[in-house]
A and B are shown apart, each in its own frame.
Chain A
């Protein structure tokens, strides 16, 4: 069995800052859902409501120079890695001011300057490149770590196994973060995995594996800090099994016919990472309202920024085509 990490200690101010970030992601994604349903946003959108602690806990533990690869459920990782909400929202509106300049969209969010090497719409598609990025860091003796986000569903695909095998074989500074939300789109883990404990898959490669309560942001943060230290010190990659809950459907508009309604209701009551941290911080209603108002204003401003953004010309589609 993988080792279960205990909560580390974080200062109250830092935790409060994490709370604000998680709340910003939540309000951002609620707004995305609202604007999508209003017909303003094109494309195929996946929100990670319920998984904010994983995004913030991991990304806040990273150092400058560390890089991430994200998934189709990428808004939280992107914001937590430092992309301004304006640039992210502009991307979702398909504007040139967007973080991928309108070429990527929700499932292909990039911010290379801030270490976001791209969200991937192919499940597991980004994992081998994280092994490769970590190899580059190792070859150049740079103290950097490459981090892949993916879900439990991705642990069934070949790239997962090949990328982890190679990473461990070559002892590269990589961190494989499994956002284990127990669902692969509409398929529960009981139907997609013949084992209960996903970290056994990493242990099979001889990789250090750590389990952590993904709804507890400080636990995620501390586990990530320790994993990064392990990877950065040349001891090899780490697999983080971040147990989390997707409190919404697979995509915006998913009727979730596959999921018992009482299960979702129960999870929302018990496993909302924002409610948990709010209680832990003992925020008064006034304090909460103040933070909430602040982040909602940021989100509203992002929508205004995005709507006022520049539409690409149709023929801009040919930019960056070299062959």
Chain B
């Protein structure tokens, strides 16, 4: 099986959908000749031409809104919002328009649009280029929210998102674009709403998203040396959420850590913790631990940024707290 990087996997999903279907096209800032700020769409202009790989002005309301309007006419646009921080500029269109047309019309029209965006800390851009805002969008009825953490997942989930009849906000993590994974030649679409168990374990379940999946896997390796068996589960789709898979895992391990890069307070992890405590209360042997960023805008200085966002050691410490011991003692 060939190895694909996360970046190549995104490109492959887009390209295969565009080869299959004339209704699929891309819009975004700097996506044509430049190939996107993350290089995801490099080479696609040559294959598909400027009508289908459309450079837009710096104009998030219009590019997102135009994608919505084209989708309502039966196209399957993929609109790229360069940084998820810039979703704020188009939030009215995503929240009031994309999420609600099907509902407000009583089911007369659907909006099969995908909003791709990326972000994440670890490169010191400061407070306006690295936020993790997925929790804003999972709170909106009418939006599907996907946040893949590996190349195979990003490819299979993006393909499914493009062919979903409803709007999907699709989060990619900046620091993962170079990550490689074996993937099949042909795309295997991954259904939205299905979690992935990355590693099986007996003592603690870590439910993690995005970059934190990899931090959790690193923490699980360290924990194993201490004799702790850690299960790592990535929901992959945050809305709809595969509650059954998460709850089943915690019923097996009796302990749970929820980890994401976004700020902990009012975060996605709070909802996951609520789901777990309600559905697996009698199975829990310890309070659910949450791992996330400190409640602050992201600072510039690398030492401060590093300190604000969570890493493997933070996940490991949370694992330790759930088993009631520190440093493996």
Which residues of chain A have a CB within 8 Å of any CB of chain B? 67, 98, 100-104, 108, 110-113, 117-118, 120, 122, 125-137, 139, 146, 158-159, 162-163, 165-166, 169-170, 319-323
- Asked whether, in the complex, the Cβ of A136 is within 8 Å of the Cβ of B74, the reply is yes
User: Which of B59, B65, B143, B240 contacts A132 (CB under 8 A)?
Assistant: B65
List CB contacts (< 8 Å) of B28-71 with chain A: 51, 54, 56-57, 59, 61-71
A131 engages B106 (CB within 8 Å): no
Determine whether the beta carbon of A101 is less than 8 Å from that of B107. Answer: yes
| Cα separation A253 to B106 with both chains bound (whole Å) | 28
- State the CA gap A170–B145 with chains docked (Å): 30
- Please tell me if B103 contacts chain A, counting CB pairs below 8 Å: yes
A170 to B66, CA, bound (A): 11
* Max chain A Cβ within 10 angstroms of own Cβ: one of B59, B61, B142: B61
Bound together, the chains give a CA A321 to CA B75 distance in angstroms of 21
Residue of A nearest to B101 (CB): A118
Q: Specify which chain A residues have a CB less than 8 angstroms from the CB of B145 in the assembled complex.
A: 323
Residues of B close to A111: CB separation below 8 A: 108
Number of B positions contacting A (CB below 8 A): 44
Cβ distance A125 to chain B, nearest Cβ, rounded Å: 6
Closest Cβ of chain B to A72, distance in Å, is 13
- Interface contact B62-A137, CB-CB below 8 Å: no
* CB of B302 closer than 8 Å to a CB of A: no
- B104 CB within 8 Å of chain A: yes
Rounded to whole angstroms, the CA-CA distance of A135 and B74 in the bound complex is 12
With A159-B65, A166-B63 known to touch, is A118 a contact of B70 (CB < 8 Å)?
A: no
Min CB distance B98 to A, Å, is: 9
Task: Say yes or no: A118 contacts B96, CB within 8 Å.
Answer: no
Per the bound structure, the CA–CA distance linking A180 and B173 in Å amounts to 45
* In the bound complex, CA of A170 to CA of B52 (Å): 12
Does B226 lie at the interface of the complex (its beta carbon under 8 Å from any beta carbon of A)?
no
Q: In the complex, what residues of B have CB within 8 A of residue A169's CB? A: 57
Apart from A103-B103, A129-B97, A166-B57, 7 more pairs, CB < 8 Å: A101-B106, A118-B105, A125-B96, A127-B65, A132-B69, A322-B102, A323-B166
B66 near A132 with CB under 8 A, answer yes
Given contacts A125-B97, A165-B59, contact A131 B105 (CB under 8 A): no
26 CB contacts below 8 A, A to B, read A100-B106, A111-B108, A112-B109, A113-B108, A117-B109, A122-B97, A128-B66, A132-B65, A132-B68, A132-B71, A133-B69, A133-B70, A136-B70, A136-B75, A137-B73, A139-B70, A159-B61, A163-B61, A166-B56, A166-B62, A166-B66, A319-B106, A321-B141, A322-B102, A322-B144, A322-B165
